[in-house]
Structure 1
């Protein structure tokens, strides 16, 4: 039994996710579209389980797993084979660790692969092409566990021969509802608890244990409404509700979901202590209303365009992210969106209407004569062989590290060597003073200490050769609290130079401003402090990095020993430096090295006319 109007729920989820990925700055909370899908999947799967039990007094687990396999795996494999050849349009950085990515996707463990590899859903500098399959992993984990639980419940209740069919169905629903609510509360609570104290919420967002509750909310709703096997109270509610009231409430629920997409923030704890749950509740409301509207519109057909978009939504979800990542590296965002849809939609339709049914042994929408022609079969086999060969070759030649990661690794080795040499000189000087009986003089070394993050690390060699008497201490993912620790340690070891350049802020989080003020207070007399604002092409004014840059601009004028150099402004005037990059790093480009060094030189020039800290 196909329920009309369910298509619009899928469409709302798809639009939310696609808009979020295409225009993240304008629609920062669109990731809740995934939770719309999760809630709907939990509802649909559980409702079908109830219908099967009501019809046959049993639930066939193997048949359930088989249906899920044919619905999920073939489109996933096809999308991977189609996408990989397109990676030759972009930098080899985008296929780094490709074999691991594909293995994780096909093994339905992408969510834990990203957690273990330190992947971030929002701020991955070189985004994994298949990071979006984290949601398939969570979904598959739900199917495996929930299917087994439903099978066991059906087995136990189905054996009670002293009960009539209606009683057994009612007991099955009750058991499913109670377990759904237990798992719902446990998972939502775990997400709220584990999100406490985090600065990057990706681990709690990816984790199946913390993100399964939308499925169980949908499952609980299924026991109250159902598809074929509906309860009497729900039947009564349908009879006593006006069609137009249902339409109005359904529109309001969709509006609520879209409004949340504008208000929610991935980096806000409120998202994990109720925001995602609220989105799932609105999705559940829309599901119930769509089910009611189905019975109120017996003579009205669902628009064919809506049915088409809903039917291809899963495949389109698979295609959109890797296609957009690739196309956005070779053109502007709007054209990349158009190309993503132009390529993804036909591939999705071909997958859903032709290839998937053929693999599952079902009827397709194509002319059977064409489908079974030897010429077409031969062509499909040839194309498949070529795609598999290209994918295999690409996986084999994929680098293990991006250019940036390789540069950071080599730079880290050189930096460690330089630091050892510096500390050796300090120890030798201290020993000479001790042997000769001199009175130690607390002297601050002349020159420049540049303290930075991965952007600074990428430009390290150029900085050392073009800024006289300088040292560079840079580390990937360095935040303000880590920078504070580094500077204070150098200060205690008497290796912190007179001019301290702080190139931090891309990894800013809540509390970074307080850490900067702490540094300003604890920096010893005799130093200049040069603040360099962070730049991230993707950031809007609400991002922590943008807020930190504003705070630096506002703070510097209040201290005579602090100067400011506006890398955010200077980098924004040279967008060509970041073409084809993540919008933060210029990956060793000479033009990027030049303007980055220029920014530091401007800060040092401004510091010359200012006194040191007293």
Structure 2
């Protein structure tokens, strides 16, 4: 039994997710589309469980697992095989560690793989091609456990009673458990998010992010599909298509609004935002179910049904295709090519390959296709793609060029720190010969102290050779408050040099202005400060990094000892140094090293004309 208007719920979830991935800086909260999918899956699976028990007074666990397997696994395998040949179009760095990514995707453990490797959709380096399969992992975990629990509840219900009473026990059992599990899961997310700066662990975890399934499951128990519950019958008697349609529309508008306003790195997202999105998805589902019964003479448009049919496979294809195409063409064209190709490949998968794999006939434009007709081309192409997968995995690097560069730079930096500490200790105990014994030299150490983040770390070796008399301290994910601690540590140990270059800001937090002013205020007299504006090719004007750059450009007018090295402006004029990168780091691209050092040296020349603090 196909319920009309459920397609709109699926399409809503798909559009939210696609818009988030395609236009992440504008549609910052579109990730809630996954919660729409989760809620709908929980509803549909649980409602079908109730229908099966009502029909046969039983729930067949292995048959349930079989249906889920054929719906989830074949499209996933096909997607992986089809996508990997396209990786030859982009930098080899994009297949870094691809074997583990493939294993995690096909093993339905991507969510925990991403937690372990520190990955996310907002990855700071090379995005994982299959990071989006984290949601399939949670979904599969839900199916396995919920199916087993439903089977146990069915057995207990059969033991307690028979006929309609057994169905009542089954409904009540599932209803209570969905409520308890939803509350527990959300409670774990609410408490677990407290104090986190990176929310990926609570977002990706099956334990903390399974509550949408159980909210949907509760709605499935209450409404059902063929077998309707008392609450659903009461709602049907006290509503009409206009009210129901309005409720569905308002929920959709609110979800889209949340897609524009919510942010992945905001605490309120995990302490209420995702739950509210789940509730809105539940309202859409319930209204769609009501609208089906209240519009018997209206047919769902065919294009809506088609998009709903292919929505799962479109979700599978769109992310890796977009990652690939967005690095070889402008964004609008990448979005267009990704969307069209995803739909075409998904239609081929859903209407032809999946039925054949499941042992059924495929119907394409009125023509029936069987396994015997497609056996040779399907097996032949499948073997070629499988061989290519082995080759790609075998030849994939374990570390990207940037990661290698950061790793090596980090080792050399640690060596330099040991030497610097050694020199500082000697300087602190040795008397200054010019001033006489017992007097410590308080003059500022000549030269340049560069304090930076991962961008600076990636070019550290080149900087050290091309910025005269410089000492570099750089680290990935460094924010302004952490840069302040490094500066103050060097200041206390008298190793902070006269020219202080702060290359921080790509990872700017909400308190960027407060931290920047604190750094300026606590810099000891006798120094000159150079602030290097951050650059991120994806950043909009409302990003913290962009607002920090605006703040920094205005500081020399107020503080004469400050000079701005406008990397944000200069880098934007040279997009070629970011080809094949994340738009922030250029590690491994020599032209980027040259330009970065040039911007710092020009600022140092300008700073010679300014007074010290």
Which TM-score band applies after superposition, normalised by the shorter structure? over 0.9
2:200 matched to which residue of 1?
202
Q: Is the 8 A contact 1:578 1:585 kept in 2?
A: yes
Any residues of structure 2 matched to 1:70-85 within 5 Å, and which?
70-85=70-85
Please say if 1:135 is aligned against 2:135.
Answer: yes
Aligned residue among 277, 285, 289 for 2:275: 277
Q: Which moved more, 1:312-321 or 1:337-346?
A: 337-346
1:166 and 1:545 map into 2 onto residues whose CA distance is 62
Q: Residues 233 and 111 (structure 1 numbering): CA distance in 2 closer, same or farther, change over 3 Å?
A: closer
Q: Is the 8 A contact 1:199 1:510 kept in 2?
A: no
Post-superposition shift, 1:348?
0.6
Post-superposition shift, 1:430?
4.3
Q: Residues 268 and 322 (structure 1 numbering): CA distance in 2 closer, same or farther, change over 3 Å?
A: same
1:479 matched to which residue of 2?
479
Post-superposition shift, 1:323?
0.3
2:346 matched to which residue of 1?
348
2:124 matched to which residue of 1?
124
2:386 matched to which residue of 1?
388
Post-superposition shift, 1:556?
4.7
Please say if 1:105 is aligned against 2:105.
Answer: yes
2:504 matched to which residue of 1?
504
Q: Is the 8 A contact 1:246 1:289 kept in 2?
A: yes
Q: Residues 352 and 475 (structure 1 numbering): CA distance in 2 closer, same or farther, change over 3 Å?
A: same
Q: Which moved more, 1:124-133 or 1:465-474?
A: 465-474
2:248 matched to which residue of 1?
250
Q: Which moved more, 1:176-185 or 1:164-173?
A: 164-173
SS of corresponding position for 2:450: strand
Deviations 1:482-525 (A, max 9, x none): 22222222222222111110001111223343333332233222
2:326 and 2:231 map into 1 onto residues whose CA distance is 51
Post-superposition shift, 1:438?
4.5
Deviations 1:129-183 (A, max 9, x none): 000001111111111121111111111011123xx52222222212211211111
1:56 matched to which residue of 2?
56
Any residues of structure 2 matched to 1:194-343 within 5 Å, and which?
194-343=192-341
Post-superposition shift, 1:560?
2.9
Please say if 1:371 is aligned against 2:366.
Answer: no
1:369 and 1:531 map into 2 onto residues whose CA distance is 68
Give aligned pairs, total. 610
SS of corresponding position for 2:41: helix
Q: Is the 8 A contact 1:577 1:592 kept in 2?
A: yes
Q: Is the 8 A contact 2:138 2:206 kept in 1?
A: yes
1:232 and 1:406 map into 2 onto residues whose CA distance is 62
1:42 matched to which residue of 2?
42
Q: TM-score, normalised by structure 2?
A: 0.96
Q: Is the 8 A contact 1:120 1:200 kept in 2?
A: no
Q: Is the 8 A contact 2:536 2:584 kept in 1?
A: yes
1:120 and 1:262 map into 2 onto residues whose CA distance is 19
1:397 matched to which residue of 2?
395
Please say if 1:539 is aligned against 2:543.
Answer: no
SS of corresponding position for 1:62: helix
Please say if 1:189 is aligned against 2:176.
Answer: no
SS of corresponding position for 1:300: coil
1:341 and 1:120 map into 2 onto residues whose CA distance is 22
Post-superposition shift, 1:450?
0.8
Q: Residues 557 and 199 (structure 1 numbering): CA distance in 2 closer, same or farther, change over 3 Å?
A: farther
Post-superposition shift, 1:285?
0.6
SS of corresponding position for 1:210: coil
Q: Which moved more, 1:134-143 or 1:602-611?
A: 602-611
Post-superposition shift, 1:373?
4.2
Q: Residues 556 and 203 (structure 1 numbering): CA distance in 2 closer, same or farther, change over 3 Å?
A: farther
2:271 and 2:496 map into 1 onto residues whose CA distance is 43
Q: Residues 219 and 406 (structure 1 numbering): CA distance in 2 closer, same or farther, change over 3 Å?
A: same
2:336 and 2:49 map into 1 onto residues whose CA distance is 39
1:114 matched to which residue of 2?
114
SS of corresponding position for 2:502: strand
Post-superposition shift, 1:363?
2.8
Post-superposition shift, 1:387?
0.3
Q: Residues 78 and 60 (structure 1 numbering): CA distance in 2 closer, same or farther, change over 3 Å?
A: same
1:500 and 1:295 map into 2 onto residues whose CA distance is 71
1:172 and 1:525 map into 2 onto residues whose CA distance is 76
1:56 and 1:371 map into 2 onto residues whose CA distance is 32
Q: Residues 44 and 369 (structure 1 numbering): CA distance in 2 closer, same or farther, change over 3 Å?
A: closer
2:607 and 2:560 map into 1 onto residues whose CA distance is 9
1:549 matched to which residue of 2?
549
1:556 and 1:194 map into 2 onto residues whose CA distance is 42
Q: Is the 8 A contact 2:360 2:370 kept in 1?
A: no
Q: Residues 364 and 464 (structure 1 numbering): CA distance in 2 closer, same or farther, change over 3 Å?
A: same
1:99 and 1:603 map into 2 onto residues whose CA distance is 44
Post-superposition shift, 1:368?
7.7
Q: Is the 8 A contact 2:35 2:274 kept in 1?
A: yes
Q: TM-score, normalised by structure 1?
A: 0.96
SS of corresponding position for 2:457: helix
